[in-house]
Amino acid sequence: MSESHSAYFIPEPSRWPIVGTLALFVSFIGGAIMLNGSGFGTFILGLGAGAIIYLFSGWFSDVICESIRGSYNRQVDTSFRWGMSWFIFSEVMFFAAFFGALFYARIYSVPWIGGEGAKLPTHEFLWPMFEAIWPLMTTPDATIEGGTTAYNQIKEVIPAWGVPAVNTLILLSSGVTVTLAHWSLKKNNRKGLCWWLFATVVLGFLFVTLQATEYAHAYHELGLKLSSGIYGSTFFMLTGFHGFHVTMGATMLTVILARSIKGHFTHENHFAFEAVAWYWHFVDVVWLGLFIFVYWL
């Protein structure tokens, strides 16, 4: 199929997959025990997390060795591309679940409780004082006379045109810088590659830092928490998972930067770079969705 000299590369038996499985297994057990309220679980979770880091560095360094040794022909490269694209698609669908929850709450459940649409008796008999406004500042249970509420009431929400807008700019420009880095690489301009990558990494971590300060602000001053009703829930789950992905992406970019500095990648063979760039564009696009539907509209 390819004009390349060797046939498809089938790796030797490898211990990494089973190590990975065990690492995840231990982390899950640890996490579960921790959630059940035992500090011992945190310890196990830590072990698992350590194992996961070990796994990634080990597995990927094998892959890097093989790649440098030239074991991968064009066809293997294509397999990686298919793999990475569909992996990113699965991530998109993961976010889709939470966006779905957000739209459901905004279009159906909150208006229903507020007496709009098909569920009038719900409002009449159960939540007569509740008004459907988004962002939801007061949870339905707080509107029941003499009742107690299980949730935090929000004093203020984060306006779209403050830090979130800045963050949008940051992420968008990081998308540009990573593309510039790619162009430099393709033109074999190593210096440009390193500097643009460096800029991307800086922007990435800047984003995470700003996001973290916003969180602190929301928790301490605005009363906006995970437990602030459905607004807080969707807000933090969406931005939180996104922030986690940005952190992962920025970390991967850092690795790519280190490898670039070490002189890895050639102008025609640099799939690892591209994979991380794709991933970065993906977190970028998700952020746009967040900015529009969570902060702005």
Partner 1 sequence: MSEAVIHNGHHDHHDHKPYGIGRWLFSTNHKDIGTMYLVFALIMFFVGGAMAMVIRAELFQPGLQFVNPLFFNSMTTIHALVMIFGAVMPAGVGLANWMIPMMIGSPDMALPRLNNMSFWILPFAFTLLLSTFFMPGGAPAGGWTMYPPLVLQLGDGFPFLIFAIHFLGISSILGAINIIATVFNMRAPGMTFMKLPLFVWTWIITAFLLIATMPVLAGSVTMLLTDKFFGTSFFSAAGGGDPVMFQHVFWFFGHPEVYILILPAFGIVSQIIPAFARKPLFGYESMVYATASIAFLSFFVWAHHMFTVGMPLTGELFFMYATMSIAVPTGVKIFNWVATMWKGSMTFETPMLFAVSFVVLFSIGGFTGLMMGITPVDFQYHDTYFIVAHFHYVLVPGAIFALMAGVYFWLPKWTGHMYDERLGKIHFWLSAIFVNMLFFPQHFLGLAGMPRRIPDYNVQFTEWNMVSSIGGFAFGLSQLILVWVVIKCVRGGQKATDQVWEGAHGLEWTLPSPPPFHSFTTPPQVTDATAHS
Partner 2 sequence: MFFKKLKECLTGITALWLMAWTGAVHAEWGLNLTRGVTPISHEVYDLHMLILWVVTIIGIGVFSVMFWSILHHRKSKGAVSAKFHHSTTAEIVWTIIPILILVGMAIPATKTLIKMEQTGDADMTIKVTGYQWKWKYDYMDDGLSFFSVLAQDSNDARQPGSNIDLNSIDHYLLDVDQPIVLPINKKIRILTTANDVIHAWWVPALGWKRDAIPGFINDNWIIIEEPGTYRGQCAELCGKDHGFMPIVVKAVPEEEYVAWVKKMKMAKAAAAASGDRDFSKDELMASGKELYSKNCAVCHMAEGQGIPGTFPALAGSAIATTPEGLPDHIDRILHGKNLMPPFGEQLSDADIAAVVTYERNAWGNDTGDVVQPKDIKAAR
Please report whether residue 49 would count as binding partner 1 according to CB under 8 A: no
Q: Which is nearer to partner 2, 50 or 128 (CB)?
A: 128
Interacting partner of 121 out of partner 2, partner 1, none (Cβ under 5 to 8 A depending on kind)? partner 2
Least Å from the CB of residue 125 to partner 2: 6
Q: Round to whole Å and give the CA distance between 233 and 240.
A: 10
* Near partner 2 by CB under 8 A: residue from 1, 10, 12, 125: 125
Least Å from the CB of residue 121 to partner 2: 4
Interacting partner of 227 out of partner 1, partner 2, none (Cβ under 5 to 8 A depending on kind)? partner 1
Q: Which stretch binds partner 2 (CB under 8 A): 26-34, 113-121, 174-182, 268-276?
A: 113-121
* Near partner 2 by CB under 8 A: residue from 55, 113, 136, 137: 113
Please report whether residue 233 would count as binding partner 1 according to CB under 8 A: yes
At 180, the amino acid letter reads L
Reduced to 3 states, what is the DSSP secondary structure of residue 268?
A: coil
**# chain residues binding partner 1, by CB under 8 A:** 80
What is the footprint of partner 2 within residues 84-103 (CB under 8 A)? Answer: none
Q: Which is nearer to partner 2, 66 or 141 (CB)?
A: 141
> Residues 225, 236: contact at Cβ < 8 Å?
yes
Distances (CA, A) of 9 to 12, 70, 175, 265, 266: 9, 10, 33, 19, 20
Q: What's the distance, CA 238 to chain centroid?
A: 9
Residues belonging to the chain: 297
**# chain residues binding partner 2, by CB under 8 A:** 10
Reduced to 3 states, what is the DSSP secondary structure of residue 49?
A: helix
> Residues 247, 208: contact at Cβ < 8 Å?
yes
* Near partner 2 by CB under 8 A: residue from 37, 39, 121, 263: 121
Binding mask 87-126 for partner 1 (x = CB under 8 A): x-xxxxxxxxxx-xx--xx--xxx-xx---xxx--x---x
Please report whether residue 215 would count as binding partner 1 according to CB under 8 A: no
> Residues 198, 254: contact at Cβ < 8 Å?
no
* Near partner 2 by CB under 8 A: residue from 30, 114, 140, 249: 140
Least Å from the CB of residue 108 to partner 2: 10
Least Å from the CB of residue 288 to partner 1: 19
Q: Round to whole Å and give the CA distance between 176 and 281.
A: 9
- Count of Cβ atoms closer than 10 Å to residue 55 Cβ: 20
SS3 string, 174-209, reads HHHHHHHHHHHHHCCCHHHHHHHHHHHHHHHHHHHH
Distances (CA, A) of 97 to 101, 125, 154, 241, 261: 6, 31, 24, 12, 39
Q: Round to whole Å and give the CA distance between 293 and 134.
A: 11
Binding mask 67-86 for partner 1 (x = CB under 8 A): --x-x---x--xxx-xx--x
Q: Round to whole Å and give the CA distance between 157 and 164.
A: 12
Interacting partner of 150 out of partner 1, partner 2, none (Cβ under 5 to 8 A depending on kind)? partner 1
- Count of Cβ atoms closer than 10 Å to residue 184 Cβ: 20
* Near partner 2 by CB under 8 A: residue from 29, 58, 75, 119: 119
Residues within the interface to partner 2 (CB under 8 A): 112-113, 119-122, 124-126, 140
